[in-house]
Structure 1
Amino acid sequence: MAFVRVVEKTPERLHYKRSPSFRSWMVLIGLSLLGTVIASSSTGDVFAWRILCALAGILLGYICFDKWEECLLDRRDGRLTIIEQSMADRFVLGKSKRVVADLNSVVDVSVEKEVVRYAGTGYQVVLHFDSGFSLSLLSCSTLAFNSNEHDSVKKDILSFLDLDACESKKDI
């Protein structure tokens, strides 16, 4: 799968992980190099201006960088854990953002379609809870031509939670 990677798929645990894409790394390197080229090509400028141009390129690359995300469904603990880390969280601060929910309170899983202006169509796998709360598997939608990969993740989660029988009853 392109948008998430299956780390572990057992009857007790289902673990998905998403890392920054190749595009994200290339944008970081490209903008950093652009800032460095602008800094080195500006002759006669003050040294502080050159440093500022280089740091601006690195900062722009950092802003455009994707996040590391994990989703862990664990039957032993009865918990759903979603972990999100930015580059600063991962390498500098050593912390992460966590969302923990009761696995038994998930009542449905769906794939939602979102139209992204000037970019196409994005899809998200969304978990629906019995309290009416909805939680996305990933923090942002993934651009794709179709939702085949998202549908396969949805089916995996439905079968893991034994909700696929409920899903077939809805279709009837």
Structure 2
Amino acid sequence: MVAPTHSNYFEENPGPREARLDDDSQFYRNDTQEYSADGDPLPGIEGFQIVGDPRPGSTLRACGFPTNGTTLCNFQWVRCHEDGTRYSIEGATMYDYVVTADDVGTLLAVDCTPMDDSGRQGDLVREFANNENKITCDQEMQNDINICISRGRADFDVYVLVCHEVFIILPEVKFDTL
């Protein structure tokens, strides 16, 4: 039995992510694309990231570069909790998202599924906001919250909006500490 040499071993056994460029076994390229059953590369997103300040009231935006004929991306923003549970945020299906008080204390992420004009879906891509750290309030907001908690109530100025003779009166907001 003859042990394979390096040259014919690699010719006969390209790596799982390598494709031969031509009949000359010396030239391979790294192939990171996913392929469908018919051999066409699936839609994808390169450089997927979230930009923006991950603080309540700020807008985050998911962005990346479409590849392999991607013409549409389906987005879903999710909250991830310490116990491993993930909750889809109702109505948060666009590329941009305004961080809310409900996000504080959670890991915030966006799932993106790239698609092409033929309806083929690529692999889901997930990115976390805030470098995969929990969402927090800025210090000024946290100080205001702490003051309200220590007082046992929160007082706000209320403005009445008059529109087509319909009056909207907002009640004073109060809460008790536990």
> Do these two structures clear the TM 0.5 threshold for a shared fold by scoring above it?
no
Structure of larger gyration radius: 2
Q: So what's the TM-score if we normalise by structure 2? A: 0.29
Q: So what's the TM-score if we normalise by structure 1? A: 0.30
